[in-house]
Structure 1
Amino acid sequence: MRIVTRIGILLLIVGMQGCATYGRLSGVPSDGQKSVFKDGRKTLISIKQNIVAVSPDTEIVTSGQRGDFVIAVNNGTSQDILFSTEHITASADTNGQLSMLKVFSYDELIAEEKKRQAWAAVGAALQGFADSMNAANAGYSNTSGTYSGSVYSNYGKSANVYGSYSSTTYNSAAAQAARNTAQANSEARFARLQVEGRENLKNLSSTILKKETIFPGAWQGGIVKVALPEVVQQPQEIKLVVTVAGEPHEFTFTQEKVQGK
């Protein structure tokens, strides 16, 4: 039953993934903006006193999930400027209904990843506890059965007897082997979590836009994660406003449902 249950859960997860809805983000340049291709991605460039370039990291997005936007800023002033996700806002227009979208900061993403790691460690600990409990019982084996027969007395009389029996034996070698396996699996599980956690934090640190001081003439940028709306049949307008030293740069993207997905 346990194998059947696991297979059922796996099929359910696969089925849920297969039912996901996808959208395509397309940049729509406005007056004063250029549309170019950079690293294979369609990029919108707004040129004012400062320069801002924005492109979706991937055009195809999952409905209701976060979208990654690559944002690069050039300081065209003669002064140092401070730039972060605090200077970026996002909104969606769905059938005339305007809604603000969450723009995630670097600190929020780091805190989120650390919380995920903490819960993953709890799950690993619970799994290790269950393995230890199973290992504790691994050395025991039970034998049971029934018996029946006839007995005779000294006077030649007979009687039928029947009953049941059970016995428990303990194999210390088998128990120790099970404990060793459980311990090794637990250590390997925690080691994988530690490696995965370090890699995730390293990836966030190297790719996500962080608060930075941009010197005159210098570029700064990174990936910004935005909570996109659910994909619907009608095209939706996604707007990003990037404000650099008080100068707003507005970018428009269209989110359309990918047919056949």
Structure 2
Amino acid sequence: MRIITRVAILLLIVGIQGCATYGKISGIPSEGQKSVFKDGRKTLISIKQNTVALAPNTETVTSGQKADFVIAVHNGTSQDILFSTDDVTATANTNGQLTTLKVFSYDELVAEEKNRRAWAAVAVGLQGAAESMNAANAGYSNAFGTYSGSTYSNYGTKTFSSGSYSSTTYNYAAAQAARNVAQANTEARFARLEADGRENLKNLSSTTLKKETIFPAAWHGGLIKVELPEVAEQLQDIKFVVNVVGEQHEFNLNNS
């Protein structure tokens, strides 16, 4: 029982704990680009035949964790173009050491969320099993005591005796009530987990950049998630390259 409880607690802690180190990320416009503020975000805009805009979703990022970036593409050609996260690459440069950063696709994020829910369900199940075992033991009660006294034999001999005793009783009603509470708590946790999972998938579907055909003169955009490097004492240069049907748009940002 103790092992099950400890495993459940460990899984829950792993699921919620995060890194406490934070950094700030900011875009630096290159030649031919301009920096504007859009919805409070500092946004870099690269204008060629096609136009690409890129901005961190928030200025503050967590060291070594995923960060959201807003990206939008305008089709300036006379043909339909296909665009997705496959057309976005990112690298980090720390003191000349170049690191490729993972850019997650929509399908990868959905699979990651489903995997998170599966592990969270394991934790909820283990916690429920531990509580159910504790509930089964709730019906037991123990009594302890001591006794002492004197007895006389038929011949008038006096004998003194003492000792201790214990007894165990089981209250089925109390145990069943505890089991009902444990079951209700487990069902409530599973319901919250399911609701949170649906909401997370809904948010992914409505905000994440997906593969899309962009018609001439049309815009398409959304959020992309990028695995950032650990924040270092030295200033880190982060570069995004956005490929729009062979046309390269490079964006430079600092992570400090």
What RMSD, in angstroms, separates the aligned Cα atoms of the two structures? Answer: 1.9
**One-letter amino acid matched to 2:155:** Y
Aligned-pair distance for 1:254? 0.5
Gaps of at least 5 residues in structure 2 are: none
Aligned-pair distance for 1:186? 1.2
2:190 matches 1:174:
no
Instruction: Provide the rounded CA distance (Å) in 2 between the counterparts of 1:199 and 1:109.
Output: 14
What corresponds to 2:62 in structure 1? 62
What corresponds to 1:239 in structure 2? 239
Query: How much identity, in percent, do the aligned residues show?
Result: 73
TM-score by length of 1: 0.89
2:138 matches 1:108:
no
Aligned-pair distance for 1:149? 2.2
What corresponds to 2:124 in structure 1? 124
What corresponds to 1:192 in structure 2? 192
Moved over 6 A (4+): none
Gaps of at least 5 residues in structure 1 are: 257-261
Over residues 144-191 of structure 1, what are the superposed CA-to-partner deviations in whole Å (9 max), with x where a residue is unaligned? 222222222232211221222111112222112112111111111110
Aligned-pair distance for 1:127? 1.3
Instruction: Provide the rounded CA distance (Å) in 2 between the counterparts of 1:241 and 1:102.
Output: 13
What corresponds to 1:220 in structure 2? 220
Aligned-pair distance for 1:67? 1.5
What corresponds to 1:76 in structure 2? 76
Aligned-pair distance for 1:132? 1.4
**One-letter amino acid matched to 1:135:** A
What corresponds to 1:259 in structure 2? none
Secondary structure in 1 matching 2:192:
helix
Secondary structure in 1 matching 2:156:
coil
Secondary structure in 1 matching 2:147:
strand
Instruction: Provide the rounded CA distance (Å) in 2 between the counterparts of 1:230 and 1:186.
Output: 37
**One-letter amino acid matched to 2:102:** K
Secondary structure in 2 matching 1:142:
strand
Instruction: Provide the rounded CA distance (Å) in 2 between the counterparts of 1:148 and 1:244.
Output: 95
Instruction: Provide the rounded CA distance (Å) in 1 between the counterparts of 2:173 and 2:32.
Output: 78
2:111 matches 1:93:
no
Identify the range of structure 1 (239-248 vs 164-173) with the bigger mean alpha-carbon deviation: 164-173
**One-letter amino acid matched to 2:75:** N
Secondary structure in 2 matching 1:192:
helix
TM-score by length of 2: 0.91
Instruction: Provide the rounded CA distance (Å) in 2 between the counterparts of 1:199 and 1:31.
Output: 41
Instruction: Provide the rounded CA distance (Å) in 2 between the counterparts of 1:239 and 1:80.
Output: 27
